[in-house]
Amino acid sequence: MSAIALLLPLLTLGLPLLLACGWVLPARWHPWLHRLTALAPLPALLLALIAPADLSLMLPGVLFGGLWLLDSLARALLVATALLWLLAGLYALRYPLATDEKTPDDGGQPGGSARRFQVFWLLTLAGNLGLLVSRDIAGFYTCFALMTFAGYGLVVHTGRAAARTLPFHRQEAMPDKVVTRFAPSPTGYLHIGGARTALFNWLYARHTGGVMLLRIEDTDRERSTEGATAAILDGLKWLGLDWDGEPVSQFARAARHREVAEELVRTGRAYHCYATPAELEEMREKARAEGRPPRYDGRWRDRDPSEAPAGARPAIRIKAPQEGETLVRDRVQGDVRFPNKDLDDFIILRSDGNPTYMHAVVVDDHDMGVTHIIRGDDHLTNAARQTVIYEAMGWDVPVMAHIPLIHGPDGAKLSKRHGALGVEAYRAMGYLPEALRNYLARLGWSHGDDEVMSTEDMVRWFEIEDVNRGAARFDYAKLEALNGLYMRKSDDAALLDRFLATLPFIEERGAIPAEPTEQQKAMLLAALPGLKERAKTLVELADSAQYLFVSRPLALDEKAAQILDAEARGIIAALLPELEALTEWSAASTEAAVRAFAEKSGLKLGKVAQPLRAALTGRSTSPGVFDVIAVLGRDESLARLSDQIAG
């Protein structure tokens, strides 16, 4: 008997079992294991075709010899089964081995679920092949148990994650858990439109019991900065929009993007393009001259790379469909159809080896398991191009929802004069995060006539289908009114904490220090009931609270100076002994004393109260003057009045 005949029985069951054990090796071995896994049925096929008829007699008790019964029926079944497994494995090689877990250091190699899928695949194969050549009941049930166990793991334990990472299965059912993502570019601040996009993703994830992931799209290395990334993270935290897991850097996944691009070339879904910059410029000029949008003319779509100029570094272009249309099913915009003639063979990998945004986004969304993409409708055209990549890879397209952009009150594109500022600017302008969150939610989404919504209400009510198709209009007046409402509703202690946290970011703090003393905090807390009734923002509150922190003698503003004329100073001088005589110092007791003085002097209350306000605060407006007197306390109030009497 030949050595091959001796070896084949061992490899038939031994190779799948050995490869199953091999998946515990480090990730750098996984691409090779992936290829060998596809070839695991080959020894069984060769065994059935070339092994001698008396193999079972020639190998008693060794090399699985006690198992084999290779009669004509077993041989035929073995050929058919091995061929089917071999074809399935070879078909799988057309696709990259994807990941479903975060493995940032392994170049995009498979995560735990993908490894488990491969192991169960190999164990099922071994059990299936052994079942066909078993010569007795013990061998039959041993192989049947192995195939049953492994098959259960293949179908149940790997679940949807395996279906997402391997090409043998296409996910058609509704995902078990909604996964949204917010993917800002760290080239500037977190602008208000981006904040709303993050909010909608966060609300839908929390509404459905899913997760929201955060991906920093930092592939533009020239414009991306660590400072911008930090500002984005800080803005999200201030708004109260937490994310699940650690932020993912798109740039760190460049190796994975290149892997998928090269895989598309290998499978014939993309190609190397050697068009020079001069040729591309010529195409653009020709298109402009003919009055049509610039399109790549596909000159390298079907050319042999051997025709490329020496030393030229190619880009990789996707083979976009040239006929028919690409359909984007959108939860907000409805079905949107794009003629494929308008989708040219766009670049997915530049000649310098860096991926394009269009390509990187698709790979990242797939690998991160994103099920729902909620973003601005300026990405709607991108959705069609990205669908082309999804379909080329055989991946399921996530649910799309393209929300309308935010315009100014005049209907024009949102600019800085309308409110197109960074989230940090709104913090510096004194808005509460919960109020801004509420206002942003109402920009394009509604729940009946509800205007004021708690976070719990928004999570409970939010549905993508309730987002309007038309552009929302940003209105500072509505935001200020809503913020004022939230301030008045706030618990005083909670509002004080928010105010103190915001103080370092307010540029015009006046006399208020960035970190008030405990005594000053106590004064602020006592004054808050009166202060918050008049203020619509924390900046206005800070301005109204200046009287608590100014040093004596007070500087008077223009209106206060006009109020404190000679007559007014005389009134205060006459009132001062009445106040000094009080044994109890409170808003009620001082008000009673002032009213009694006004009545005795034949003056209206305002004739006395207005000079008092000007003398105590240096301004013509303030919280209730008797509340001011109570907060300042006896000594400070009397001293300020004495200063103004002295002139």
Residues annotated as catalytic (active site), given as ranges? 416
* Cβ 248 vs Cβ 214: under 8 Å: yes
Beta bridge mates, 68: 134
Rounding to the nearest 10 degrees, give the CA dihedral for residues 456, 459, 462, 467: 90
- DSSP letter for 1, please: -
* Cβ 535 vs Cβ 487: under 8 Å: yes
Contacts of 6 (CB under 8 A, 6+ apart): 59, 63
**Closest to 166 in 3D by CA, of 13, 10, 38, 58:** 38
Show the beta-strand stretches assigned E in 411-552: 472-473
Pairing of strands 315-318, 347-349: antiparallel
Contacts of 146 (CB under 8 A, 6+ apart): 123, 126, 127, 130
Beta bridge mates, 376: 403
Between the two ends of the chain, the Cα-to-Cα distance in Å is: 123
In our burial notation (b when 16+ CB lie closer than 10 A, e otherwise), range 66-87 reads ebbebeeebbeebbebbeebbe
Q: Letter for the amino acid at 258?
A: R
- N residues, the chain: 647
Distances (CA, A) of 253 to 50, 105, 112, 365, 585: 47, 9, 18, 12, 68
d(CA 47, CA 622): 96
3-state secondary structure of 178: coil
d(CA 22, CA 152): 21
Measured CA angle at 62 (ends 61, 65), to 5 deg? 65
Question: Going edge to edge, which strands form the sheet with 347-349?
Answer: 270-273, 315-318, 347-349
Compute the Cα dihedral for 299, 300, 304, 307 and give only its sign. Answer: positive
**Closest to 574 in 3D by CA, of 557, 606, 551, 596:** 596
**Closest to 439 in 3D by CA, of 487, 488, 474:** 474
3-state secondary structure of 270: strand
d(CA 117, CA 112): 9
User: Cα-flanking dihedrals φ and ψ of residue 549, to 5°?
Assistant: -115, -10
What are the structure tokens assigned to 593, written together? 């004393």
d(CA 514, CA 496): 13
